[in-house]
Amino acid sequence: MPRLLITGASGFVGGNLAVIASRTWEVTGSYNSHRPELGGVRTKQLDIASETAVAEAIECVKPDAAIHLAAMSNIDECQKEQDAAYRVNVIGTANLADACRASGARLVSISTDNVFDGKRGCYSEDDAPNPINFYGRSKVLAETEVLKRAPGALVVRIPLMLGFPLTEAGSFLGGIVRALRARQPVMFFTDEWRTPCDVFTLCDALVELAANEMSGILHLGGTERVSRAEIGRSLLRRLRLDEEMATYTTAAEAMKGRAPRPPDVSFDVTRARQVLATALLDLERSMDRIWEATAPDALRLS
């Protein structure tokens, strides 16, 4: 069985990916400080920003491929703690790119829709990045390091992800469900547009990409441009709650004083649909897949 290293396995996407990939790969998932329990998946502590530690991890695991998810991704934290974000997101990525190149391991490095300014949406891989927050800037720099240091590597930009974590990590839908359980107010933005993707479809696609030879940049996401408010309404309907119990407002109003967010970073996923056997889905089919695959406890409000 081929060997796969997944960095950031304690996160929402990383934890789900480790479990899904373990069906066809021998998986080692790395974490920084919180060791995840992932149903028998081997885990390894790793400071991604340490060049020596990364090189030793690659030598120990001897992966055929690595999927790089470890990142400092909270947009407001990145804005406030730019040195820390640079250390993890840029230096850490460069370290892994160097180690993969030296070992011959294939590298699939995960980036973000926040590399764009969000002024028009429907971005393709050929559009030039223009981030408006430090998180986005750090990921643009990380992309550059990957493509410079590891010829043959693939950078995969991903959108707002839908689903529930297997670890203690947070997620967009998980945060809404937690707020509803605590009888806290729920707010959805009407002026932020995304091409969201369910975590299971993303993970299937990443497993596929780890095994092929595609290089460069690829946009992975859903097939439908929707607002956060539309996603929220879909969730409330499935929970059999009144859609009007939430507050609908603009991010521009609600996020004053916080790091800027790009309004429309929807993707053009034409290239991904051409190269992938994994089918990309619209919002409702993504939500269907989440509902079918998620443990009922994650969806209970009491």
Which range (68-72, 98-102, 163-167) has the least confidence?
A: 163-167
Residue 44 domain-assigned (yes or no): yes
Q: What is the pLDDT of residues 87-97, one digit of tens each?
A: 999 999 999 99
Q: Return the bridge partners of 5, or none.
A: 28, 66
Q: Strand, coil or helix: what is 194?
A: strand
| Residue 102 and residue 57 in contact, taking contact as beta carbons nearer than 8 Å | no
Q: Is residue 122 part of a domain?
A: yes
Maximum pairwise Cα distance, the chain:
55
For residue 234, is it within any domain?
Answer: no
Give the pLDDT band of residue 58 (cuts 50, 70, 90): very high
Residue 25 has pLDDT above 90, yes or no: yes
CATH code of 58's domain: 3.40.50.720
Say if strands 193-194 and 226-227 run parallel, antiparallel, or are unpaired: antiparallel
Is 45 domain-assigned? yes
All residues at 6 or more sequence positions from 175 whose CB lies less than 8 Å from its CB, including other chains: none
Say how many domains are in the chain.
1
Query: Reduced to 3 states, what is the DSSP secondary structure of residue 238?
Result: helix
User: pLDDT averaged over the chain?
Assistant: 95
SS3 195: coil
**How deeply is 283 buried, as exposed, middle or buried, from its count of CB atoms within 10 A (0-12, 13-18, 19+)?**
buried
Cβ-based burial of 295 (10 A; exposed 0-12, middle 13-18, buried ≥19): exposed
Q: How many CB atoms lie within 10 A of CB 179?
A: 14
The tokens of 151 are what?
Answer: 């010829």
**190 in a domain, yes or no?**
no
State the Cα–Cα distance between residues 116 and 131, nearest whole angstrom: 5
Instruction: Kindly indicate the confidence band of residue 180, based on its pLDDT and cuts at 50, 70 and 90.
Output: very high
Q: Does residue 55 carry a pLDDT above 80?
A: yes
Domain range for 89 is 3-163+197-224+265-281
**Would 216 be classed as within a structural domain?**
yes
The structure's pTM equals 0.97
Beta bridge mates, 109: 68, 155
**Averaged pLDDT for residues 205-215:** 97
Section 188-214 average pLDDT: 97
pLDDT for position 256: 82
- Statement: residue 16 has pLDDT above 90: yes
pLDDT tens-place string over residues 245-299: 899 999 888 788 899 999 999 999 999 999 999 999 999 999 999 999 987 777 8
The rounded Cα 254 to chain-centroid distance in angstroms is: 24
Residue 172's nearest CA partner among 253, 116, 219, 228 is 228
233 in any annotated domain: no
Average pLDDT over residues 25-41: 92
Residue spans of beta strands (DSSP E) within 53-203 = 65-68, 106-112, 154-158, 161-162, 187-189, 193-194, 197-198
| 3 DSSP β-pair partners | 26
In one letter, which amino acid is 292? E
All residues at 6 or more sequence positions from 122 whose CB lies less than 8 Å from its CB, including other chains: 225, 266, 267, 268
Domain-located, residue 182: no
List, for residues 157-167, the tens digit of each pLDDT value: 999 999 999 98
